[in-house]
Structure 1
Amino acid sequence: MSLANPVSRRLLSDEVFDRLRDSIVRGELVPGEKVKDSELAERLGLSRTPVREALTRLADIGLVEAKPGVYTRITTLNRRDVEKTLAVLRSLDQLAIEAAVPVMTQQDVRSMRDANRDFERAVAANDITAALAADDRFHAVPITAADNPVLSRIVGQLHPQIHRILYRKFSTLLGGRNTIEHHNELVGVCAMGDARAAAELSGQHWSELGGHINQLFDTNQFTEAPTAE
């Protein structure tokens, strides 16, 4: 969904939120870039009100940061903050899997396999947006099966932040076979009903992801947060 296309009058704030979130994830709005509601409103062909509402929501989930009277900007990618976010997501994912595996159905397992096949096709086609969508569907299966609304809500709030990282990861060789193979292995363990092994495997994957992300920071593929204004 392009920022350049006019927005319909339906659910304006939600649509603006989705567009800006996706533009941040894809790096079209780059870390540290200053944004103005008036300029965004003009680009979208809207009044400033839905844009302001969307920016407030983006600030709530950590994609935008503001200093009143000074700036509103796209949140920079900071290694330490990313590590903390990954640590939380790792724990939440393990919690979801431990709760989900004992109650997962054959249809749940099939859904995970189907999502991973879509993910593999998207990676082969270098379609990063489709890869992220398939990865989301894959991990949504155990989160849904866990049936924990609080967990689902927190994961949903953190996902846009990690999507910024995964978008870059999936655009490199780091996003290829390793994730596909991990998905296949995790599905197999879930199908066996071994909740503890599945949670441990998930934790290992998050640790590997952290290592890959550190490589991206080490090679200056992310913009670190400035140390001073």
Structure 2
Amino acid sequence: MPVPQGRGLVSRSLLRDRAYAALRDAIVAGTLAPGERLNDTDLVAWLGVSRTPVREALARLEQAGLVRTKPGRHTIVSPLDERAARGAQSVTAALHELAIREAVPRLSAAELDTMRRANARFAAALRRGDAEDALAADDDFHQVAVVASANDAVRTVLEQFTPVLRRVERLRFSSLSGRASVAQHDRIVDLCAAGDVEGAVAATRANWGTLLPLLDTAPARDDTAAESSADGSAPPD
């Protein structure tokens, strides 16, 4: 049997995924701020990987709308952008509705219990004002239906668009406005348990729709200002 070509691809893929996840999480958390310039050398030192997985991770982040690259000049963290956030919200909401629609007939009692426990952690995090734990618990809640739907296309597209939306959600879960989601989650679980597909879909739509008022406060993108800041120069008058 001939030796397969491409030795080392698994390791390289893992490094790229690790770099992507670390950068994505830092951007969503605000550790890497909107407009901040990303230097390959600094990222290599921080992540402990070579330049290749860093560049591959940055390319993936650009596809997700989290960074912007001007070839030969710089890569920066994308500013919060109302248009991009609205696009991510509409896609994400529609796909979570589809996931629920496909998952309800398949959800087991154990999976429903997992959703309830995630919502309990979500509520506790909101009471503490812990936006990071609230986001993690909210992800865990919705991920149950995504996995149960067994729809790989849904999972793949959500992985691309959810991080853009999470930057906005982080603001919501830092305030009292996120607490309405606890009751909405409870309703989703109850409808799933009752086998009410259309009711669960409608409740999911309502839950994701609560982000829309926040998007009205997301700043419009200012490409000139961001690029001037990254270059260290002042924007034109």
Aligned residue for 2:17?
A: 14
Taking a change above 3 Å as real, the CA distance of residues 178 and 11 of structure 1, as seen in their structure-2 partners, is same
Aligned residue for 2:222?
A: 226
CA deviation digits over 1:71-104, x for unaligned, max 9? 2111121112211110111111111111111221
Contact 2:91–2:161 under 8 Å retained in 1:
no
Taking a change above 3 Å as real, the CA distance of residues 23 and 92 of structure 1, as seen in their structure-2 partners, is same
Aligned length, in residue pairs: 214
1:155 maps to 2:158: yes
Taking a change above 3 Å as real, the CA distance of residues 11 and 144 of structure 1, as seen in their structure-2 partners, is closer
Q: Percent identity?
A: 38
1:143 maps to 2:146: yes
Aligned residue for 2:233?
A: none
Which structure is larger by alpha-carbon Rg, 1 or 2? Answer: 2
1:35 to 30, 35, 38: 38
Contact 2:29–2:170 under 8 Å retained in 1:
yes
Structure 1 gap segments, 5+ residues each: 1-8
Taking a change above 3 Å as real, the CA distance of residues 69 and 205 of structure 1, as seen in their structure-2 partners, is same
Structure 2 gap segments, 5+ residues each: 1-11, 228-237
Contact 1:112–1:141 under 8 Å retained in 2:
yes
1:204 to 175, 181, 206: 206
**1:46 positional shift:** 5.0
Secondary structure, counterpart of 1:102 in structure 2: coil
2:208 & 2:78 partners in 1: Cα distance?
23
1:25 maps to 2:25: no
2:112 & 2:48 partners in 1: Cα distance?
44
Instruction: Give the residue type in structure 1 aligned to 2:196.
Output: D
2:49 & 2:198 partners in 1: Cα distance?
50
1:1-229 superposed matches below 5 A:
11-44=14-47, 46-175=49-178, 177-214=179-216, 217=217, 222-226=218-222, 228=224
**1:106 positional shift:** 1.2
CA deviation digits over 1:162-212, x for unaligned, max 9? 22111121112222x211111111111111110001111111222222123
Contact 1:41–1:51 under 8 Å retained in 2:
yes
Secondary structure, counterpart of 1:29 in structure 2: coil
Instruction: Give the residue type in structure 1 aligned to 2:93.
Output: R
Instruction: Give the residue type in structure 2 aligned to 1:97.
Output: I
**1:11 positional shift:** 4.6
1:100 & 1:58 partners in 2: Cα distance?
29
Taking a change above 3 Å as real, the CA distance of residues 179 and 53 of structure 1, as seen in their structure-2 partners, is same
1:11 & 1:70 partners in 2: Cα distance?
28
